[in-house]
Amino acid sequence: MTQLKFGTVYFNHPNEKEYFGPAATRELGANCMQIDFAEVSMWYQVEKGKGTYDWTIVDKAYDTCEREGIEPIPSLCHHFAPPDWVSNGPFNDTVIEAPEYGSRLGLQFQKLTTLQKSFADFVTAFVKRYGNRTNLYMLSHEWNLGWMFCSKKDSPEYQKLLSNQVMCTLLAYRIVKEHDPTSRFTYGLFTNYRRDRLDGIPITSLYNTVEEFPFGPSFMIRKYLETGNRDFLELMKTIYVFYTCYTNNLDGITPIFIDDKAGEAAEALFKGNVNVDGKDYPYKDFVKEIIVNPITISGKWCFNTEKSYTEKEQAASLVGSLKSIVAANCKGVPISTILACLVDKNEYSSRYAFDPWLMVPEGLYKMKADIDPLKRGPTTWDITYVPKEAASEYKRFISRQRG
């Protein structure tokens, strides 16, 4: 049984006058916080032009975390949204020389796309600035999400996105480890499963979307067997499961409904395996740590415009998930950390669903028809922060766990 750590996920918004996250996290009794952004990603927000970085908000996040005694966990590239100067966004395929990375990190990095080089430069600058203040690095809490909306296997964009994201994953991992070999590195896997629309019976594994899309364990093991690059196995040591429950859509991902099986999903993933050429590769042979993110969903939100969840329902789902996480941990599933998404702010983004939210630069390219959300500009709604029932239950749960 692993001693659990408790934390939160905090999305800063450009219009926010205060940085509530660290103080709110401390008030809950938690001690770590995922630094993230409501609009696109840290990379997009910080790199204002080619090689030009504005660290103001990240400095504020780190300084505020330190003042409140909270461990910062940076999410470097939520939804894989590059800066707007990178042509064709995540599908960029312009190849340039990158001798500084080829000589330092390996010949496979001698030539990179403009996107890959930009990301490597950003991560290098980030590590130089914050590396002595960071123990756990996160690429994103939904590193596999874009595949669900943006690029299918039979589309011309698939290979471009896959190549960029794989190379950016390897580059970031090596840059971080070059700076501090003892640091931990992870990327989040959006996780849900499918239920029958009529009787509600589960018809796929609890971690179904992890296996359907890159970069789940089966994908990483296959990449290792294909390339011989052990980085793919090392990247599996710390798995981040972002649990968003289930859908009754047999062909798609949405609508998404909440339940309380986060711990069961983590356990099923840990006990899973992939068979390649007649040989089984159990995931538990590679996964040494699991971070679990149970979420609450505020009212009618962007991935389910038909079902609205009350605060009581949100809190009940979170409590059930927390109990299931503890139960899995007691069974030997190496869950180390709970990072709860409490949805205590930015109510507008959930309440009014699709159009006003998805059309901001969230990095989810082509989610609706051919509209590129990066061209729409940031949202302008007022920011409010009010702890809801789920947050109060999380606080009580943390207190009980610590006795």
For 74-126, what is each residue's pLDDT tens digit? 999 987 888 878 888 888 999 999 999 999 999 999 999 999 999 999 999 99
pLDDT score at 387 = 84
pLDDT score at 381 = 66
DSSP string, 256-297: EE--S-HHHHHHHHHT-EEEETTEEEEGGGT--EEEEEEB--
pLDDT in tens, 19-54: 899 999 999 999 999 999 876 789 988 999 999 999
pLDDT in tens, 160-184: 889 999 999 999 999 999 999 999 9
In sequence order, the 6+-apart residues with CB closer than 8 A to the CB of 139 are: 75, 76, 77, 168, 169, 172, 186, 187, 188
- Find the mean pLDDT for residues 359-386: 53
pLDDT score at 358 = 42
Q: What gap in Å lies between CA 202 and CA 185, rounded to an integer? A: 32
| pLDDT over 50 (residue 213) | yes
Question: In this structure, what are the phi and psi dihedrals at residue 392, rounded to the nearest 5 degrees?
Answer: -65, -40
Collapse the DSSP code of 344 into the 3-class scheme (helix H, G, I; strand E, B; otherwise coil) and give the result: coil
pLDDT in tens, 243-290: 878 999 988 888 889 999 999 999 999 999 999 999 999 999 999 999
Q: What gap in Å lies between CA 183 and CA 173, rounded to an integer? A: 10
Picking from 340, 343, 349, the residue whose alpha carbon sits closest to that of residue 34 is 340
| pLDDT over 50 (residue 364) | no
Contact of 244 with 261, CB cutoff 8 Å: no
pLDDT score at 113 = 98
User: pLDDT band for position 354 (50/70/90)?
Assistant: very low
More confident residue, 328 or 379: 328
| pLDDT over 90 (residue 344) | no
pLDDT score at 151 = 59
pTM: 0.93
pLDDT score at 128 = 97
Collapse the DSSP code of 304 into the 3-class scheme (helix H, G, I; strand E, B; otherwise coil) and give the result: strand
| pLDDT over 90 (residue 355) | no
pLDDT score at 371 = 43
Which strand (E) or helix (H) includes residue 37? strand 32-37
Rounded to the nearest integer, the mean pLDDT of the chain is 88
Class of domain 5-82+115-401: alpha beta
pLDDT score at 296 = 83
Tokens for 196? Answer: 């029958």
The amino acid occupying position 373 is P
pLDDT score at 365 = 45
Angle at 295 between CA 253 and CA 91, to 5 degrees: 45
User: pLDDT band for position 356 (50/70/90)?
Assistant: very low
